[in-house]
Structure 1
Amino acid sequence: MSTQAQQTTSGQTRLAFEIGLLLLLSVIWGSSFTLIKVALPTIPPFTMVAARVTIAAVLLVLTALAQGHALPRQGPVWAAFVVQGLLQSALPFTLISWGEAHITSGLAGVLNATPPMFVLAIAVSAGRGREAISGRKIIGVALGLAGVALTMRVDARSGFGTAVPLAQAAVLAASFCYALAPIWGQRFAGLPAIVTAAGAMSCAAALMLPIAAVLDRPWTRAPTMQAITAVLGLAIVCTALAMVIYFRLIHTLGPLGTTSGSYLRAGFAVALGTTLLGESFTWSMLAGMMLIVIGVMAVTAPMRKP
């Protein structure tokens, strides 16, 4: 086998591995919508998010130290971590958790599938990477959004005069945060993924703990064991583990490729909400999921060199 052929095969193998990680991340984050819904009846949103990011921060810091990594000491790096923690965790987690108090977990997952659209719009408006935004990627984003539209099943009359429209807007605002987060996160390319995750999550915890203490008074709550288990799952799997995978994918697939996983995440959120929580399912949702998968493939596959 020629050197060029070996390089091609190696590149295809690496791409397959990264897309596999994207799929795993989508499953993990898709399940987070279900876990949030399980925890909400007895754990309010601010407390849930504070517990989630604090447990994850402790795990990530301990893991980074165990691997021999030292956390940065430079002030500007920690200032950047604060922004990353706000955009990637503290703010979107809170918006989604509050939103799910008024809409289904599946619908929240679908509405949260819009980050690639925002990433593309930001890239075009900022004039960055326009040469890398091919017609195929634009079509892929369009197909994904078409899939989102098909999987949405909202009764406008049921939302009239309620908090439902505001909840939907909150989840869309979380999507905008998720679009900004990987763009901002590219500045940490020189740091190991575990260090970036640990720093950003520590800052998210520092932001959320006082807010939860003042607004929720968590020591007055009586959460169920099911809710506690759900929060532990959110913290350990959906946050700590997911963040390590996420920061790796930012460097390998790029912001648009990484956020395209939100399309897959929407499909898993709908599927889990349907099977585990008894939320409604329609054939339009199935058709939408198929478009979502095609859209992800179009966005993440590399361009062939002429």
Structure 2
Amino acid sequence: MSRLRNLSLFLVLAAVWGSAFVAIKAGLAYFPPVLFAAFRYDVAGIVMLAYAAYAVDDPIPRGRAQWLEVLSGAVFIIAGYHALLFVGETDPAVTSAVAAVIVSLSPLLTTVFARAFLPAERLTAVGVLGLAIGLVGAVVLANPDPANLTGDGTVAKLLVLGAAASFALGSVLSRASDADLPIETMEAWSMLLGAGLTHLIAIGLGESVADAAWTTESLLALGYLSVFASGIGFLIYFDLLDRLGPIEINLVSYVAPVFAAAVGWILLDEGITGATVAGFLIICVGFGLVKRDAIREELRGAGVIG
């Protein structure tokens, strides 16, 4: 039952974060990129702090260890990841496909950081092979233009790579923390502090609230990203991070593009090509290799294998 719960939450997270790409694309037409990310976590942080006040006995971090865990999430997972990603994607040379491929490096980058901070999280050779196959699937699914990958926008592509590295490092540091901090409290304060840092970055880049256009579409995009992709999404993420570890949970970056393609097809009339189907199947193979032991146990428990 625990494995089924984890798998269900994993798929929900992939669906929420995958569909968020549609909302991000919509919102970037109305907001400056870093300011858009800051607004997103202004709202999400307030919502999550209210929920933390309701759900836990003490919604305020106490002591150095707890505040360090909050700070690592604010700096690397909230501010660092989103500021770098949103700025990188404003470059015309960095298409959604190119960005998806680069961000899909997150599980591989996580294994690198885990070797330094979490020796127990190391994968076997078969697990590493599974990660590599999953990356191939993400590339096939995104179907990027090879000429565009090697063309202009080198700095922007490095920014997106930095975003993936920031997220991976933040995941590992959160897992490595020995602070006994409720998920709700950690998430709320990381979002609020991360939003503040992101506002400072926006000011440094010269972005202004006057440049934002407040329309029905922009508010819907902001609301979806704040409540669902950020609030509910990160609540699931940090819960699974504690249960599965950073390497396995960051495999969500392989699965999310599948849902992004499906939502894009339903809402934006984006076609699902043979590359989409092939990429999905390859991702399934890679995921199966990484999770082979858990799958074997589920099949044994169901009586499918002896």
> Which residue number corresponds to residue 90 of structure 1?
79
The answer on 1:211 being equivalent to 2:229 is no
Normalised by the length of structure 2, the TM-score is 0.85
Percent identity (aligned):
27
Q: CA deviation at 1:274?
A: 4.4
Q: Does the C-alpha gap of structure 1 residues 255 and 161 become closer, same or farther in structure 2, counting only changes over 3 Å?
A: closer
Contact 2:66 2:179 in 1 (8 A): no
Q: Which runs of 4+ in 1 moved over 6 A?
A: none
The root-mean-square deviation of aligned C-alpha atoms, in Å, is 2.5
Residue by residue over 1:58-116, the C-alpha shift from the partner in whole angstroms, topping out at 9 and shown as x without a partner, is 01111111124321132443233122112111111122222333344354334322211
For 1:220 and 1:286, locate their aligned partners in 2 and report how far apart those are by CA, in whole Å: 40
Gaps of 5+ in 2: 298-306
For 2:244 and 2:17, locate their aligned partners in 1 and report how far apart those are by CA, in whole Å: 18
Of 241-250 and 202-211, the range deviating more from structure 2: 202-211
For 2:201 and 2:115, locate their aligned partners in 1 and report how far apart those are by CA, in whole Å: 36
1:132-211 to 2 correspondence within 5 Å?
132-158=122-148, 162-163=152-153, 165-186=154-175, 187=177, 190-211=180-201
The answer on 1:296 being equivalent to 2:284 is no
- SS at 1:129 equivalent: helix
- SS at 1:72 equivalent: coil
1:35-74 to 2 correspondence within 5 Å?
35-70=23-58, 71-74=60-63
Normalised by the length of structure 1, the TM-score is 0.85
> Which residue number corresponds to residue 78 of structure 1?
67
For 2:10 and 2:178, locate their aligned partners in 1 and report how far apart those are by CA, in whole Å: 19
> Which residue number corresponds to residue 233 of structure 1?
224
Q: Could you tell me which amino acid in structure 1 is paired with residue 261 of structure 2?
A: V
Q: CA deviation at 1:156?
A: 4.2
> Which residue number corresponds to residue 304 of structure 2?
none
Q: Does the C-alpha gap of structure 1 residues 127 and 210 become closer, same or farther in structure 2, counting only changes over 3 Å?
A: closer
Of 115-124 and 34-43, the range deviating more from structure 2: 115-124
Gaps of 5+ in 1: 1-12
244, 252, 255: which one pairs with 1:264? 255
Of 133-142 and 55-64, the range deviating more from structure 2: 133-142
- SS at 2:31 equivalent: coil
For 2:293 and 2:243, locate their aligned partners in 1 and report how far apart those are by CA, in whole Å: 11
For 2:118 and 2:5, locate their aligned partners in 1 and report how far apart those are by CA, in whole Å: 30
Q: Could you tell me which amino acid in structure 2 is paired with residue 265 of structure 1?
A: A
